[in-house]
C-alpha cells in the first residue's frame, strides 16, 4: 500500500518533468557527451570551442557550416528539437535548468519575457556595447521582445509580422477591391459579411481570428497602450474592451468560425485559410512557410496581405501590423558566452537571407532588400509588390504585453477571455480579472519577490 502511495506521489512530482524530457533530450545529451569525447581525443592545443545550439525552426543548416568554416576556433553543433507546442519550451527549460550543454537557444513570441524575468538568459548589454551595435537601427519596432526591465537578453532573429492575409480570387469573384492600410474595422467587418456564404460543411467564412491572446488585442493597442503611465495594467482601457467585444461580435454574426468551434475542432489558421474555408485570416508572416508547402496545404488561389484594419476613422496613421519576435539568447549557464555571441551575431546578420529562405521573416533590418524579399516568397506564388510593405516602414502594434508582469498578463488574457468568448462572463468581469492578476504580479515584481 505504502509503495503504491509512494509511486503515485513520485508520479505526481515527476509528471511535468517526464512530459518535458522526451527522448530527444537524452539523445542530444548523449550526442553532446560523445562530441566532447571526440574533441578531447583530438589535438589538445587547437581543439575548437564547442557551441551547442538548439532550435525548433526549419533551418537552413548551411549557415552553420559556413560559420564553422569561417571560425576555426569555434565548432557549432546544431540540435533540432521537434516543434511541439509549448512542450518544446519546457524541453529547453529543463536543458538549461539542469545545466545541460546548451549555449544558444531561441525564445519565442512573448514566452521569453518570463525567462528573462527568471534569469534564464545571460544579459548581453556589455557584448552589444563592446561591438558598438545600434540595436534601434538593426531591429527597431520589435526590440521590446529582446529586453526586460531595461536589460537586453537576446538578439532578435525572426519576427512575426501579423496582418490580414486574403484570398484574391474570392475578392475578385465578389467584386471587392483589395484592402490597403487605410481600411477601418467597420470596413473590414463589412467585407467579412460580404464574403461569408454557404451553410454547414460548405460554409465559407469571411474571416478567421484564432484563439491566441495576440489575435484580438492588437487593434485595441492602436489606441490604447498595454500599460498605464504609472506602470499598471491598462487592459480595461476602451481600446482593448472594444477590441474584445468586436472579436466576439464577428463570432456572433457568423462571419468567422466561432471561438468555441475553434476549440472543439482544433482548427488552425493555415488549414482553414489555405483549405479555402475563409476568405481572410489574421496571421503572422510565418504563414508564408505554409503557403510554400503545397504538399500539406494544397491550394490554387492567389493570396495578398493587408495591414490590420484601423481601429476607427480617428486613427490617423495606417499600415498597422502587429509584431512579435523570436530572439536568440545565451543561457546564463553557458560556459562560452563570448563564442556563443559571435555565433548569434553571424546567424542573425549573415544568416538573414537564409532565414528568409525558410519562409521565416528575418528581424535584421539592414539586410532588407528586394532580393531578400524574393527569397522570402520564393515558390509561394505571392507577388513581391504585395509583400514589400511588410518590410517597409509600418506602424507597429504589440501583439502581446512585454513589460513587467508580462507572463501573468499574457496567461490571464488567455485563460480569462475564453470565458467571455464562450458567453459565460461579461467583458467587465474578465478584463477586471486580468487587471487584478496582472497588477498583483507587477506589484510582486517591484517588491523584489
Partner 1 sequence: MKQKNTKRTKRQLREERAGYLFVIPNFIGIVIFVALPIILSLMLGFTKWNPMQGLSAIEFAGLDNFSRMISDERLHAALKNNFVYTFTYVPVSVALALLVAVLLDKYVFMKVPLRLMCFMPYISAMVSVAYVWLILLNPEGGPVNSVLAALGVKNPPGWFTKSNSSLAGIILMSIWHDFGYYMIIFLSALQGLSKEVYESARVDGAGGLQCFFRITVPMMASNIIFVAILATMNSFKVFDQINVLTEGGPGYSTNVLVYCIYHYAFREHNIGYASAVAVLLFVIIMVFSAVQVKLKEKFTI
C-alpha cell at 111: 514566452
Select from 122-130, 149-157, 378-386, 407-415 the region that touches partner 1 (CB under 8 A): 407-415
Local structure of residue 257 (DSSP, 8 states): -
Please give the C-alpha separations between residue 259 and each of 72, 294, 298, in angstroms, as whole numbers: 53, 27, 25
The answer to whether 114 contacts partner 1 (rule: CB under 8 A) is yes
Q: For the segment 196-225, give every residue that binds partner 1 (CB under 8 A).
A: 200
93/101 with CB nearer partner 1: 93
d(CA 182, CA 1): 70
The answer to whether 446 contacts partner 1 (rule: CB under 8 A) is no
What pairs with residue 159 in β-bridges?
325, 361
Q: Characterize the bridge pairing of strands 147-148 and 151-152.
A: antiparallel
The kind and range of the H/E element at 327 are: strand 320-329
- Residues in the interface with partner 1 (CB under 8 A) total 45
| Angle 104-47-75 from CA coordinates, rounded to 5° | 30
Of 197, 261, 369, 426, the residue at the interface with partner 1 (CB under 8 A) is 261
The kind and range of the H/E element at 398 are: strand 395-398
Q: Which of 169, 134, 180, 139 is nearest to 388 (CA)?
A: 180
d(CA 36, CA 336): 14
110: Cβ contacts below 8 Å, ≥ 6 apart: 145, 214, 324, 399, 400, 402, 406, 410
Of 58, 80, 332, 372, the residue at the interface with partner 1 (CB under 8 A) is 332
Of 77, 184, 228, 260, the residue at the interface with partner 1 (CB under 8 A) is 260
5/137 with CB nearer partner 1: 5
d(CA 121, CA 123): 6
d(CA 189, CA 281): 13
The answer to whether 97 contacts partner 1 (rule: CB under 8 A) is yes
We find the least distance from the C-beta atom of residue 77 to partner 1, in angstroms, to be: 23
Of 415, 427, 432, 445, the residue at the interface with partner 1 (CB under 8 A) is 415
The answer to whether 82 contacts partner 1 (rule: CB under 8 A) is no
226/259 with CB nearer partner 1: 259
Strand runs labelled E in 5-82 = 49-55, 74-80
We find the least distance from the C-beta atom of residue 303 to partner 1, in angstroms, to be: 28
The answer to whether 149 contacts partner 1 (rule: CB under 8 A) is no
d(CA 345, CA 393): 24
The answer to whether 400 contacts partner 1 (rule: CB under 8 A) is no
Of 39, 71, 77, 90, the residue at the interface with partner 1 (CB under 8 A) is 90
The answer to whether 105 contacts partner 1 (rule: CB under 8 A) is no
We find the least distance from the C-beta atom of residue 93 to partner 1, in angstroms, to be: 7
The answer to whether 99 contacts partner 1 (rule: CB under 8 A) is yes
Of 119, 198, 275, 366, the residue at the interface with partner 1 (CB under 8 A) is 119
We find the least distance from the C-beta atom of residue 97 to partner 1, in angstroms, to be: 4
d(CA 142, CA 134): 14
The answer to whether 13 contacts partner 1 (rule: CB under 8 A) is yes
Q: Characterize the bridge pairing of strands 320-329 and 395-398.
A: parallel
- Burial tier of 305 (Cβ tally within 10 Å: 0-12, 13-18, 19+): buried
Site string for partner 1, 416-435 (x = CB under 8 A): x-xx--x-x-----------
We find the least distance from the C-beta atom of residue 20 to partner 1, in angstroms, to be: 6
Site string for partner 1, 14-33 (x = CB under 8 A): xxx--xx-------------
Contact footprint for partner 1 (CB under 8 A) = 1, 3-16, 19-20, 90, 93, 96-97, 99, 114-115, 118-120, 200, 259-261, 263-266, 332-333, 407, 411, 415-416, 418-419, 422, 424
Amino acid at each position: 500500500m505504502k509503495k503504491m502511495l509512494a509511486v503515485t506521489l513520485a508520479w505526481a512530482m515527476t509528471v511535468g518533468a517526464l512530459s518535458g524530457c522526451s527522448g530527444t533530450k537524452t539523445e542530444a545529451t548523449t550526442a553532446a557527451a560523445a562530441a566532447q569525447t571526440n574533441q578531447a581525443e583530438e589535438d589538445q592545443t587547437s581543439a575548437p570551442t564547442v557551441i551547442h545550439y538548439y532550435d525548433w525552426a526549419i533551418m537552413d543548416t548551411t549557415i552553420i557550416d559556413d560559420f564553422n568554416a569561417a571560425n576555426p576556433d569555434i565548432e557549432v553543433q546544431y540540435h533540432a528539437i521537434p516543434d511541439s507546442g509549448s512542450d518544446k519550451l519546457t524541453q529547453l527549460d529543463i536543458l538549461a535548468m539542469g545545466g545541460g550543454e546548451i549555449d544558444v537557444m531561441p525564445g519565442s513570441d512573448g514566452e521569453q519575457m518570463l525567462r528573462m524575468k527568471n534569469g534564464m538568459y545571460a544579459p548581453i548589454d556589455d557584448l552589444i556595447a563592446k561591438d558598438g551595435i545600434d540595436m534601434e537601427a538593426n531591429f527597431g519596432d520589435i526590440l521590446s521582445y529582446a529586453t526586460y526591465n531595461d536589460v537586453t537578453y537576446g538578439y532578435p532573429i525572426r519576427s512575426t509580422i501579423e496582418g490580414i492575409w486574403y484570398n484574391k480570387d474570392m475578392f475578385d469573384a465578389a467584386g471587392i477591391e483589395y484592402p490597403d492600410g487605410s481600411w477601418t474595422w467597420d470596413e473590414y467587418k463589412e467585407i467579412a459579411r460580404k464574403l461569408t456564404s454557404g451553410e454547414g460543411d460548405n460554409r465559407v467564412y469571411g474571416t478567421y481570428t484564432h484563439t491566441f491572446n495576440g489575435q484580438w488585442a492588437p487593434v485595441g493597442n492602436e489606441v490604447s497602450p498595454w500599460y498605464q503611465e504609472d506602470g499598471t495594467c491598462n487592459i480595461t482601457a476602451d481600446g482593448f474592451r472594444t477590441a474584445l467585444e468586436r472579436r466576439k461580435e464577428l463570432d456572433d454574426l457568423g462571419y468567422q468560425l466561432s471561438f468555441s468551434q475553434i476549440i472543439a475542432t482544433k482548427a488552425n489558421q493555415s488549414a482553414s485559410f489555405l483549405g479555402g474555408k475563409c476568405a481572410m485570416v489574421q496571421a503572422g508572416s510565418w504563414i508564408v512557410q505554409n503557403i510554400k508547402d503545397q504538399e500539406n496545404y494544397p491550394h490554387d488561389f492567389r493570396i495578398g496581405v493587408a495591414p490590420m484594419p484601423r481601429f476607427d476613422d480617428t486613427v490617423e496613421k495606417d499600415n498597422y501590423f502587429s509584431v512579435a519576435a523570436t530572439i536568440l539568447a545565451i543561457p546564463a549557464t553557458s560556459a562560452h558566452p563570448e563564442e556563443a555571441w559571435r555565433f548569434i551575431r553571424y546567424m542573425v546578420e549573415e544568416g538573414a537571407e537564409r532565414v528568409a529562405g525558410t519562409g521565416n521573416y528575418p528581424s535584421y533590418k539592414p539586410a532588407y532588400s528586394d532580393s531578400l524579399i524574393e527569397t522570402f516568397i520564393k515558390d509561394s506564388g505571392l507577388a513581391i509588390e504585395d509583400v514589400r510593405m511588410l518590410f517597409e516602414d509600418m506602424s507597429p502594434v504589440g501583439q502581446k504585453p512585454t513589460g513587467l508582469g508580462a507572463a501573468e498578463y499574457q496567461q490571464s488574457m488567455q485563460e480569462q477571455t475564453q470565458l467571455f468568448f464562450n458567453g459565460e462572463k461579461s467583458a467587465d468581469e474578465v478584463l477586471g480579472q486580468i487587471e487584478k492578476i496582472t497588477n498583483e504580479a507587477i506589484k510582486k515584481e517591484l517588491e523584489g519577490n
